[in-house]
Structure 1
Amino acid sequence: MIPKLKITFVLILCIFSLICFSLVATQIQGQRIAHFDHNVISLIQGMESPGLTLFMKVFTFIGSTPIVVVIALTAILFLYFVLHHRFELIFFISIVAGTGIVNLLLKLYFARQRPDLHRLIQETGYSFPSGHSMEAFALYASLAFLLWRHLSTRISRSITIIICSIMIVLIGISRIYLGVHYPSDVLGGYLASGVYFTLGVWLFQWYKEYRAYKFAK
C-alpha cells in the first residue's frame, strides 16, 4: 500500500508562508503597508554612507542573475560529480529555476511600480515581489538544506545555516538601501520563495520516503 501524504512541519510552514504572502500581497496598495515601507526605508537609507553604499552594491551584485547562475552551476557540478546525488540535483534545479519563473509571473500579475524616492542605482521592471530576494532565498536555502544532509557535526551545520541566512538577509536589505525595492517587496519575495521552497522540500521528503517504502517491500 502506498504511504499516505502526511501533514509535516514543512508543509505547515508552506501553508503559513502562503497565508502571510497573501496578506502582504493584498495590502501592497494600502496605507498600513505604505506606512511600514516608509518607516523601514527611512531607517535603512538613513544610514547611508559611501562605504555602506559600496557594501550594499556588492551584495546586490552577488544577488544578480549572472552570479546566481554561476553559484547554481557550481553547486550543480558539485552535486553531480562529487556527491553523485541526481535526485538532489533535480530538486536544486527545480527550486532555483522554478523560483525565477514564479517571480516573473507574480511581477506581471501585481505590476507594482518601483519606488522613486532615493535611488542609488537604476533598475527596470516591476517591483513586487523582489526577484533578488526570491532567488537569494531559493538558492541559499536550497544549499543549506542539501549541505545539512551531508554535514556530520553540529558546528558545521550551524555555520552553514548562519552564512546562508546572512546572504539572504543582506541581499534583501541591499535592495531597500539602494532604493530599488520597497521593504514589502523584499518581505513578499521571501514569503513567496518560502512557499515554493517548502513545498519542494515536502515533495522531496515524501518521494524519498515513498522510494524507501517501495524498496523495503
Structure 2
Amino acid sequence: MSGQKLHLTSGRQRWIFLISIISLIGFVALAALVKRQSLASFDLAILTTVQAWEHPLITDIAIGLSFIGSIGPVIVLCLIVIAVLYWALGHRMEILLLIVVVFGSSILNLLLKWVFQRARPDIHRLIEITGYSYPSGHSMVAFSFYSVLAYLLWRHIDSGAGRGILISISVIMILGIGLSRVYLGVHYPSDIVGGYLAACAWLAFLVRSYEKRMGKRANPKDMNDSETA
C-alpha cells in the first residue's frame, strides 16, 4: 500500500513539474512578444473594450479589488492564514510554503519588472500609479496567494461543496484583481497574463519541492528503497 501511495505521489509530482515548465515556457514566449511589441493591437483592443464598461459602481469595485490585491492587505491576509495554520491546525511546514510562495512572488515580480521595464499604458487611467508594467505585480501576488491558500485548505475541507466554494472564491479573486488592473488603465492585458504565468510557474515549482520534502518525511524507508532500486 505504501509503495502504491509513493507511486501516486511521484505521478502527481511529475504533473506539477509539467505545469511549472509549461507556465515558464508560456511566460517566456509571451515576454518575447511583449518585447517585440507584437501584442500592441491585442492589448489595445481588450483595454478599450474593458474600459468601455466604465461606471461609478464598477469603478468602486475595481478600486476595492485592486486595494485587496496590494501588498498591505495581502500581508494582513497572510498573517490571518498563518495564525489559523499554526494555532488551529499546527502545520508549520504549510506556513513556510505560504510565506515563500507569496513573498517570493513579490520579489520575483520586482526583478522581472526591472528586466523588462515596460511602460504602463497611458490612455485613460482611473488611478495614478508609478513603476513598470510587465508583469503585473497584483496578478502575480493574487495568483500566488489565492492558489496556495486553496492548495493548503483543500485537504482540510471534507465536503465537495466546501471545496467548490474554496476554488470558486480563489478563481473569482484572481480574475477579479487582474481584470481590475486593466479596467483602471494601469496594466495591459498581457501584463496580467504574464503575471499569472510567472506566478503559476513559481507556485508549481515550490509545491512540487514541498510535496517531495513531505513525502520523504512521511515515508523515509520507501524513499530510500526507491533510490536504491
Q: With the length of structure 1 as denominator, give the TM-score of the two structures.
A: 0.95
What residue is the counterpart of 2:179 in the other structure? 173
Per the TM alignment, residue 32 of structure 1 is displaced from its structure 2 partner at its CA by 3.4
What residue is the counterpart of 1:100 in the other structure? 106
Q: Compare CA radii of gyration and give the structure with the larger one.
A: 2
CA distance in structure 2 between the partners assigned to 1:94 and 1:44 by the alignment: 33
- Could you tell me whether the CA contact under 8 Å between 2:35 and 2:116 is conserved in 1? no
**What are the within-5 Å matches in structure 2 for residues 128-139 of structure 1?**
128-139=134-145
Per the TM alignment, residue 27 of structure 1 is displaced from its structure 2 partner at its CA by 0.8
CA distance in structure 1 between the partners assigned to 2:25 and 2:215 by the alignment: 27
2:34 counterpart SS class? coil
1:76 aligns with 2:82: yes
CA distance in structure 2 between the partners assigned to 1:19 and 1:95 by the alignment: 19
**Deviations, residues 160-196 of structure 1 (Å, cap 9, x unaligned):** 0000110000000000000000100000000000010
CA distance in structure 2 between the partners assigned to 1:131 and 1:47 by the alignment: 23
Stretch deviating more after TM superposition (4-13 or 81-90): 4-13
Instruction: Please point out which of 132, 142, 148 is paired with 2:148.
Output: 142
**Cα RMSD (Å):** 1.6
Which AA in structure 2 matches 1:41? Answer: L
1:163 aligns with 2:169: yes
Per the TM alignment, residue 31 of structure 1 is displaced from its structure 2 partner at its CA by 4.7
Which AA in structure 2 matches 1:133? Answer: S
CA distance in structure 1 between the partners assigned to 2:206 and 2:157 by the alignment: 21
CA distance in structure 1 between the partners assigned to 2:218 and 2:60 by the alignment: 50
> Unpaired segments of 5 or more residues in structure 1?
none
What percent identity do the matched residue pairs reach?
Answer: 44
Count of aligned pairs between the two proteins: 215
What residue is the counterpart of 2:227 in the other structure? none
Which AA in structure 1 matches 2:196? Answer: Y
What residue is the counterpart of 1:188 in the other structure? 194
Q: With the length of structure 2 as denominator, give the TM-score of the two structures.
A: 0.90
> Unpaired segments of 5 or more residues in structure 2?
1-5, 225-229
What residue is the counterpart of 1:59 in the other structure? 65
Runs of 4+ residues over 2 Å off in structure 1: 3-7, 29-32
